[in-house]
Amino acid sequence: MATTGSLTGALVRLQLKLSWRYTMSSVAMKVGSLIMALMLLGSVIPLMWGMFAMRGTSIATRGEVLTSGFALLTLLWPIMVTMMTGSNDMLDAGRFALYPVRMGRLMPGLVCSAAMGLGGVMMLFLGIGYVASWSTSPGTLVAAVIGWIVGFATCLASSRALAALLADVLRRRKARDLTIVVFFLVIMGFSIGTQLVSRSLAAGSITTNPDEFFAGLSKTASIIAWTPFGWSWGLPWALASGQGFKALLWLVLAIAWLVLMAWVWAHQFGKRLTSQLDAGGEAEKITKANPLDALLPATPAGAIAKRGLRYFRRDPRRLISVIAILMVPFLMAISMSMGLNDAPPDQRILMMQVLTFSPALAGWMVAIYVGWDISYDGSALATQIVTGVTGRDDRWGRVLAALILYAPITVVLIIGFTIYTRQWQVLPSVVGVSAALTLIGMGIGSWIGSIWQIPQPPAGSSLVGRNGTGGAAGFGASMIGMFLPVIMTLPVVALAALALLVNPLFGWLALVAGFGLGALVLWWGVRSGGRRLDRTWPEVLAKVTWKG
């Protein structure tokens, strides 16, 4: 029988091999992984050097800044990992259910495997900076090493514990939908709150005096250090301040919290080892046909469009994408409205005119939806393939469904924002830019969707029941889908700017150019994407099929 050490090594090697296989599975995964790695290193390395520089600061400053920062990271780690990337099921409990292995022997390997990723690399660099900043004496150096090990282990255990709890709770559709809505509301609230704080800083409502800032940080850090998120990170601070008993108490509390998180994870994982089967699906009431069915053509493209429209009602993931796209213009409106009252009259008119262009942002985000739409089909895509539907019909059907859904939304937003700002003279420019971004976005999305496909969990599965196969590729493709339409729309944006600054007649040119350029890119995207799908249907089906 294999020892715990050999089993741990086997699990780590398996995790690395699976991650490497998924990363090298396609060009999209390679490019996306490279982009994410570069962005991570570009943000983490400066922070590491900043912590190196803090080595010469006072004990109080180091303790307050580092304890608060790492405590915030420990708090956000499980939330962001669980909600944004999901529970990595490469080493899911169901995969070990048939083997005579107990949870106690799996635990060390699972902990080490959880650290194998970009998050682990980030924590390694930050840990080097954290330990270096406290290397002013042997005692604080040892305390910093212990604090980093316990803190990192807490991040891993808490994220897995939260994912395990949510995966068990969110098997009911209503609970999942409610959680998704709450999560998006939190994101929206955080975004709006950030804008309010930035505006208050600019207006002087919030102090920017360093002395007052550190005075407030001192009180906050003192409270944070006594929370489960700050116990481990405050160890060298307490020891350097000559408070050995407090450091020992924090160490005991940090280890106890780590043991609790590990127990929750182990308990949930152990339950899955003996009951790995997912709960049965929920029955759904069959409703009458959608009235739009009579308006759509009786063609393969029309059938795909009908199916896509039905998915919006039955699949909460698509519904959330609509809500997210709908909210983007309002975020910009809130941000700009904060400065309208304090702006001079001439500048205020210009800001109101720019505000009228907010609905164009909704069209800007459509490329991401059209690009990922085929990935939501999963193995059901096989039914479409065997019927002989061409790639061009698939692309046109998905574009038609998106137009039926997003075009009325965009029109309502344009009319509403124009009524609010009363800048009717820029209406042709707004319509032109919105049409260009929407149609170009759909064309780019049709092309992207034929190249990048990512397996998505079925609509009836758990919210966090995702694997780690699509994060990097999805990020890279989303970035292309967001920025490429903007670049291609620049000629229309230039005409709209001339309409604002030179002559309103340029707005009518922007209107014509927006529809013309958008239609051209849409035709190209559907044609190119359709041809690629015709050549790669088997590969596409293999990519979108959920293997969890």
d(CA 466, CA 85): 7
Kindly state the tokens that stand for 361. Answer: 């942002």
d(CA 477, CA 418): 33
What three-state secondary structure class fits 461? coil
* Lowest pLDDT segment from 183-187, 363-367, 461-465: 461-465
pLDDT number for residue 189: 65
Mean confidence (pLDDT) of the chain: 77
pLDDT tens digit sequence for 188-199: 666 666 655 555
536 vs 453: which has the higher pLDDT:
536
**Domain parsing of the chain, residue ranges:** 4-173+210-274, 295-544
pLDDT tops 80 at residue 293: no
pLDDT tens digit sequence for 241-273: 888 888 899 889 989 998 898 888 887 777 777
pLDDT tops 50 at residue 16: yes
Quick one: 75 exposed, middle or buried, by C-beta within 10 A (0-12, 13-18, 19+)? middle
CB atoms within 10 A of CB 173: 14
* Lowest pLDDT segment from 158-167, 175-184, 200-209, 415-424: 200-209
Quick one: 161 exposed, middle or buried, by C-beta within 10 A (0-12, 13-18, 19+)? buried
Nearest to 479 by CA among 89, 181, 83, 38: 38
Residue 375 and residue 454 in contact, taking contact as beta carbons nearer than 8 Å: yes
Averaged pLDDT, 466-488:
66
pLDDT tens digit sequence for 435-449: 999 999 899 988 988
Q: How many CA atoms does the CB half-sphere of 316 hold within 13 Å?
A: 17
Contacts of residue 18, defined as CB under 8 A and 6 or more positions apart, other chains included, come to 90
Averaged pLDDT, 91-109:
69
pLDDT tops 70 at residue 126: yes
d(CA 407, CA 431): 11
pLDDT number for residue 522: 93
pLDDT number for residue 279: 47
What is the H or E stretch that residue 42 is in?
helix 27-53
pLDDT number for residue 269: 75
64 vs 163: which has the higher pLDDT:
64
pLDDT tens digit sequence for 329-351: 887 777 777 666 666 777 777 77
Residue 437 and residue 364 in contact, taking contact as beta carbons nearer than 8 Å: yes
Kindly state the tokens that stand for 400. Answer: 């038609």
d(CA 316, CA 359): 23
pLDDT tops 50 at residue 280: no
Quick one: 289 exposed, middle or buried, by C-beta within 10 A (0-12, 13-18, 19+)? exposed
pLDDT tops 60 at residue 548: no
Q: How many CA atoms does the CB half-sphere of 365 hold within 13 Å?
A: 17
> How do the residues of the chain divide into helix, strand and coil, expressed in percent and rounded to 5?
80, 0, 20
Residue found under tokens 């400066």: 46
pLDDT band, residue 476 (cuts 50/70/90): low
**Portion of the chain with pLDDT greater than 70, in percent:** 73
d(CA 34, CA 90): 21
pLDDT number for residue 491: 92
pLDDT tens digit sequence for 25-57: 666 667 767 777 787 778 888 888 888 888 878
pTM above 0.85, yes or no: no
